[in-house]
């Protein structure tokens, strides 16, 4: 997002200011990522202070307020603040429609909030379906909520090809239940048992399931790696793996494709709808299926000679999500709201 906000700041007639959370316990992002971006990062106590959030936003005298969904009560109150009655509002959402009782009830609970939105920006088709069920008219839905740092990641494909395509798998994400770290470990173990020369699996992240990755044959747990230090890790990987059991629109998958990596992922990964074509630039497997994941590991290894082309194809599917295109897309959206 930092790359995206910088791209937006470079667009004519746009003056962004970002209110965001400081890094929490599940991540360790360095606040230096925001250097040069007009912003205010909220500490653990500040983020729940509705009056402070209101004052920070009102102080900017915004033409448009962009909200990151409805999950955070102080943000959710902003559309109804008297001091912001003349502002236009845009909501981003990445949640897929699952038809749960909570989502069905939410259509009624969220209706006043959603009706206040001038536009709703979704990640892709799965969240588009949810937006429609919330009662948002098609002409108020815009695709393209997220973007990635293509300037840094894009050249890595050529670097891999020039140096010899790496024989290494990579996982990047939170070490948490929704990322199905247990399925990842089991699937990788089954792959190793069936392979005479298995590739190692590098894992980068942080979370409560970190211990599931430790002392596992072939798994190299690097812990949390700052984005600025990830370039070499992306370059040294030959394929990306993400076996999530719930993952609305994982950006790590889009980053992997942008860097020119074939992708192995579960069907739960929402961004796979836009990025991954099975057998063309990656492999998709059913959720919660370690056997299928193990077979996908083996398939990637067997198709080693095809991986550079698969990676090049992945880049083409990821291209619309570059930070540069994100900035252009959002600048048009903001100008059209005036």
Domain residue limits at 277: 150-320
Q: Kindly state whether residues 17 and 78 are assigned to the same domain.
A: yes
Q: Kindly state whether residues 130 and 156 are assigned to the same domain.
A: no
- Lowest mean pLDDT, pick from 118-122, 172-176, 224-228: 224-228
Cα–Cα distance list, 79 to 15, 16, 105, 272 (Å) = 20, 18, 21, 33
Say how far apart CA 326 and CA 253 lie, in whole Å: 17
- pLDDT given at position 261: 98
- pLDDT given at position 170: 98
Asked if 262 contacts 282 with a C-beta cutoff of 8 angstroms, the reply is yes
Q: Kindly state whether residues 135 and 175 are assigned to the same domain.
A: no
Span 97-145, pLDDT tens digits: 999 999 999 889 999 999 999 999 999 999 999 999 999 999 999 999 9
pLDDT at 323 over 70: yes
Kindly state the percentage of the chain with pLDDT values over 70. 99
- pLDDT given at position 25: 55
Say how far apart CA 70 and CA 111 lie, in whole Å: 11
How many other CB atoms are there within 10 angstroms of residue 198's CB atom? Answer: 19
Q: Kindly state whether residues 262 and 331 are assigned to the same domain.
A: no
Domain count, the chain: 2
pTM of this prediction?
Answer: 0.95
Q: Kindly state whether residues 6 and 119 are assigned to the same domain.
A: yes
Residues 6+ apart with CB under 8 A from 258: 148, 149, 150, 153, 154, 314, 315, 318, 319, 321, 322
Span 234-262, pLDDT tens digits: 999 999 999 999 999 999 999 999 999 99
- pLDDT given at position 311: 98
Span 21-74, pLDDT tens digits: 988 655 678 878 898 999 999 999 999 999 999 999 999 999 999 999 999 999
Confidence of residue 198 (pLDDT cuts 50, 70, 90): very high
Q: Kindly state whether residues 166 and 68 are assigned to the same domain.
A: no
- pLDDT given at position 29: 82
Q: Kindly state whether residues 175 and 311 are assigned to the same domain.
A: yes
Q: Kindly state whether residues 232 and 181 are assigned to the same domain.
A: yes
Say how far apart CA 219 and CA 241 lie, in whole Å: 13
Q: Kindly state whether residues 189 and 327 are assigned to the same domain.
A: no
How many other CB atoms are there within 10 angstroms of residue 316's CB atom? Answer: 11
Q: Kindly state whether residues 290 and 158 are assigned to the same domain.
A: yes
- pLDDT given at position 23: 80
Asked if 287 contacts 268 with a C-beta cutoff of 8 angstroms, the reply is yes
Q: Kindly state whether residues 154 and 256 are assigned to the same domain.
A: yes
| b/e per residue 25-56 (b: at least 16 CB within 10 A) | eeeeeeeebbeebeebebeeebbeebebbbeb
Higher pLDDT pick, 33 / 159: 159
Helix (H) or strand (E) holding 184, with range, is helix 181-194
Say how far apart CA 77 and CA 97 lie, in whole Å: 24
CATH of the domain at 171: 3.40.50.2000
Q: Kindly state whether residues 182 and 98 are assigned to the same domain.
A: no
């Amino acid at each position: 997002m930092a790359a995206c906000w910088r791209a937006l700041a470079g667009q004519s007639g746009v003056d962004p200011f970002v209110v965001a959370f400081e890094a929490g316990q599940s991540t360790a992002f360095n606040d230096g990522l925001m250097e040069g971006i007009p912003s205010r990062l909220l500490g653990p106590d500040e983020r729940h202070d509705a009056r402070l959030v209101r004052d920070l936003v009102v102080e900017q005298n915004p033409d448009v307020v962009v909200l990151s969904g409805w999950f955070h009560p102080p943000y959710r109150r902003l559309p109804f603040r008297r001091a912001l009655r003349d502002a236009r509002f845009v909501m981003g959402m990445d949640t897929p429609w699952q038809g749960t009782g909570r989502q069905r009830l939410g259509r009624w609970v969220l209706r006043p909030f959603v009706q206040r939105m001038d536009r709703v920006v979704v990640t892709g088709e799965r969240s588009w379906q949810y937006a429609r069920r919330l009662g948002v008219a098609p002409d108020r839905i815009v695709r393209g909520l997220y973007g990635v740092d293509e300037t840094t990641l894009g050249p890595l494909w050529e670097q891999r090809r020039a140096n010899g395509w790496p024989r290494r798998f990579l996982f990047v994400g939170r070490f948490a239940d929704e990322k199905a770290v247990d399925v990842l470990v089991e699937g990788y173990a089954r792959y190793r048992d069936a392979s005479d020369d298995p590739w190692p699996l590098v894992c980068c992240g942080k979370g409560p399931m970190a211990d599931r990755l430790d002392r596992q044959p072939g798994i190299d747990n690097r812990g949390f790696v700052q984005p600025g230090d990830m370039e070499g890790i992306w370059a040294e990987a030959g394929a990306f793996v993400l076996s999530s059991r719930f993952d609305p629109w994982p950006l790590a998958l889009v980053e992997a494709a942008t860097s020119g990596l074939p992708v192995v992922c579960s069907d739960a990964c929402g961004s796979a709808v836009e990025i991954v074509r099975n057998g063309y630039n990656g492999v998709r497997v059913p959720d919660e299926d370690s056997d299928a994941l193990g077979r996908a590991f083996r398939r990637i290894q067997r198709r080693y000679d095809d991986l550079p082309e698969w990676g090049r194809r992945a880049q083409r599917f990821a291209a619309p999500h570059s930070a540069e295109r994100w900035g252009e897309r959002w600048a048009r959206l903001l100008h059209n709201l005036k």
